[in-house]
Amino acid sequence: MAKTVIVIDDSQTVRRQVRMVLADAGYDVVEASDGHDGAKQISLNAHASLAICDINMPLVNGLDLLEKVGAQNPSHVPFIMLTTEGSSELIERAVTLGAKGWIVKPFKPDMLLAAVRKLAGAPT
């Protein structure tokens, strides 16, 4: 069974781009379109290997989502933040909250895939 990656981003374009890269590589991709939906998909897909999460989103932002999920379950799915943000304060907060990676958009497909492979392992 293929490994599942949850993509949480309010931009449909970004979700599609990520899905294309990961699906081509053999991962299952689950999408969520805001922080609230993201929390729901994480709880529905407890077996997911990785979450790729935007920061600036409606309802709940990515870092608050990370904080919430992390507080509920210390062994939660690893997070890669995929964002246009590059401020070191935000990055440091993400590190503190346990994020495993930070990619500044726009992303380079092979770099994203390399990061996913490193954290989630091979697709199957």
Q: Of 13 and 110, which has the nearer Cβ to other proteins?
A: 110
- Report strand pairing: 4-8 vs 28-32: parallel
User: Looking at 5, 115, 116, 120, which residue binds other proteins (CB under 8 A)?
Assistant: 115
Q: What is the closest distance, in whole angstroms, from the C-beta atom of residue 83 to other proteins in the complex?
A: 9
Dihedral class, residue 38 (left if φ above 0, else alpha if ψ from -120 to 50, else beta): alpha
Amino acid at 23: A
Q: What is the identity of the amino acid at 86?
A: G
| Residue 107: Cβ within 10 Å count | 19
Number of neighbours of residue 2 by Cβ within 10 angstroms: 15
Question: Measured from the CB of residue 37, what is the shortest distance to other proteins in angstroms?
Answer: 25
DSSP 55: S
Beta bridge pairs of residue 30: 6
- Closer residue to other proteins, CB minimum distance, 40 or 108: 108
For the bound state, the minimum distance from the C-beta of residue 20 to other proteins, rounded and expressed in Å, comes to: 16
> Site map for other proteins, 73-92, x if CB under 8 A?
-------------xxx--xx
Site for other proteins in 3-62 (CB under 8 A): none
Residues within the interface to other proteins (CB under 8 A): 86-88, 91-92, 95, 100-104, 106, 108, 111, 114-115, 118
